[in-house]
Amino acid sequence: FADPDAAFVKLAQAVVAFEASARFHPFASKFDDYLRGQAQLTALEKKGFELFKDPKKGNCLACHAGKEDSRNPQDWLFTDFTYDALGGPRNKAIPSAAKPDSAPDLGLCARPGLAEVAPAGFKVESVCGAFKVPTLRNIAVTGPYLHNGVFDKLRDVVAFYATRDTDPGHWYPKDRSGKPEKYDDLPASAHENVNVDEVPYDRKPGQKPRLSEKDIDAIVVFLETLTDRNKP
């Protein structure tokens, strides 16, 4: 530690070594045991897993990726490491966000220096409102959820994905005329970036959601199988 620069290098190497160790990522959940053939999912957990994978229902694998033909837990990281704009509601429990004139968190497009490292022709404004797709491992015990912590319960997140556009009035504030102010945590210029094409976001007001209430419950039960045991 007499040489601060060398000390920081060693410190970084130690962190990398720890994060690469089995102690940091034990893959010790019920789902991992299921992959290894050491446990069985309940009927409801299995239903949730099927809905999670179904491209016409949850379609969760589109972003929270895993290798379907693999029984190796390390092939199931439940993220594709991309960014997506989902138009989550503003969290007015955050004092600064409760102010009408407060600036929204623009996500990826607000990253300093992004324009300098982006490929030619890339429009930085096209990723305003996009945030990193997180892993779902241990998701049941790592709330609150979304980038701004607007949801305390995991079920609310899944329900939001399913009914964001079929019942926007449930999730967003309404203007004086009673119209829901969709995507209220983003400036109007970024609304076009919100994912409205992929299942389950491809619905319109009045249409039937891709997921029923029971479907949502089943997916949440499955997600709870991704929690690591305290001890591997």
The tens digit of pLDDT for each residue in 160-178 reads: 999 999 999 999 999 999 9
Using the structure block, give the residue that is written with the tokens 């997600």: 223
- Say yes or no to pLDDT of 218 above 80: yes
Q: Kindly report the average pLDDT of the chain as a whole number.
A: 95
Query: Dihedral through CA 76, CA 133, CA 154, CA 167, nearest 10?
Result: -130
pLDDT band at 23 (very low <50, low <70, confident <90, very high): confident
Which CATH topology does 23-226 take?
A: Cytochrome Bc1 Complex; Chain D, domain 2 (1.10.760)
Burial per residue of 85-113, b for 16 or more beta-carbon CB atoms within 10 angstroms, e otherwise = bbbbbbbbeeeebeeeeeebbbbbbeeee
How confident is the model at residue 24, as a pLDDT? 74
Q: Which of 183, 186, 195 is nearest to 106 (CA)?
A: 186
- Which token pair is 179? 């119209």
Are the C-beta atoms of 126 and 194 separated by less than 8 Å? no
| This prediction's pTM | 0.90
